[in-house]
Amino acid sequence: MLRNIPKILPPELVKTMMEMGHSDVLILADANFPGTAHAKKMIRMDGIMIPELLKAILQLFPLDNFIDNPVRLMRNLPTEPVPEIWETYRELLNKYDKDDAFHDFEFIDRLPFYKTAEDAFVIVQTGDESRYGNIILQKGVC
């Protein structure tokens, strides 16, 4: 056992985050995301919701402060309401981003989001069913 590693994080994810370098991308994907079709590396966490996973990851994971928006979301359609999950993400990022790298979200349309997923270091596929729950985190330096 190690100290101060949130118990929700499996060893494979901690190892993967440690292997990531500056500007590598980690995607927390909702249950509907086509992770298998787009991932170079995928870790399944089917019983986990993204907010609890995001909270645990942010305690260990520095966000990239060399760019304006190290956190990106899949843009919803103009006819849809703003997803409630985004406010939860904002609260967690404001609380746990130790380097003050998060200022606001960057929004990416669905197909370019999938292209980003193909280049991501890892996709963590969760069981979260929130619409537009997918979130991209770009790693910074400690």
For the chain, percent helix, then strand, then coil, each to nearest 5?
Answer: 30, 20, 50
User: Does 103 participate in catalysis according to the annotation?
Assistant: no
94: left (phi over 0), alpha (psi -120 to 50) or beta: alpha
User: Does 22 participate in catalysis according to the annotation?
Assistant: yes
Catalytic residue among 24, 30, 38, 64: 64
Angle at 126 between CA 87 and CA 108, to 5 degrees: 50
User: Does 64 participate in catalysis according to the annotation?
Assistant: yes
Per DSSP, 3 falls in state: S
Catalytic residue among 22, 99, 109, 119: 22
Amino acid at the residue 129: E
Active site residues: 22, 64, 114
